[in-house]
Structure 1
């Protein structure tokens, strides 16, 4: 029979300390990621999340930079966007302007030859960074990769699904997850990409 993990005092201390550190960091996108993952987890309990919903969620977050810029005038009437995005809207606008000034580069990207595009040399949005470096082909490739990761882990690995969903959300406000030298994020993504449902079922049978 499969044994359920019983949380110890150390588990609760770890959870409390983690939330304190998140709160002290003041990273808005981290709070947003936690809230969205909690909502998705709740939704999965009352209904089976399908592939179409995964596609919609991924499409939304991959396109957050231009969606925010497109809705800036409308949403800006109700909330202070520059304050919430801490200047990211200016970065995103500068990068899109720079990219679309040379249509050929939109397809193939600018590679890793970094130039002075804005007041900071990276756009604080991983998807925009991928688009800038690798063009349309690059962003489509990463879109398909993440779809495969989320689809693989959706039903059979709650931990990997939530971790990769967290990365998907956090990539909207920072750009050090892929195309960099941060191996932990690659490890989480690759675990989801090559997740084997058969191995999980075999391990569960061994526990019975």
Structure 2
């Protein structure tokens, strides 16, 4: 199902059905499924505890939820990056935007429905200068919360899939932080400047 031996992320509307199918396909190897409506920090701690129980054979941990809180995802980052021996993680949710960019960067992703089509933005991140940055920010300074989150997702999609930039950890964390700040009702103009400044700095260092 996934290219990586560490597992992956599955975007599906049929969480419980797909979890059962995965369990059956992996039999007789052990699967432990954590199915929640909202995956919280206490659920992440339970997963981590289960992951560190030693196994002679491969054990798959299936984490399925309609939403994953930011603290829960942050708690899982380290173990997703360096899973214990013989442990495989499969994360499932109905929407790709559920997962932070830093989580998505650690696992391959499979989608069961058509991926959202993004329009090309009037900005080039790899050649970003101050004039382009402030013109883009001015054009997008009055967005509703869902529109602001969608624009951050669109910027990340453009960076990774259109411009094919090798994102640094600070750039990935910038996208993460932006989504959290938008959720906390921070001023979007400032959030957008923060994200774009990460790319401006990269251009300056490369000169």
TM score, norm. by length of structure 1: 0.27
Higher strand residue share: 2
Higher helix residue share: 1
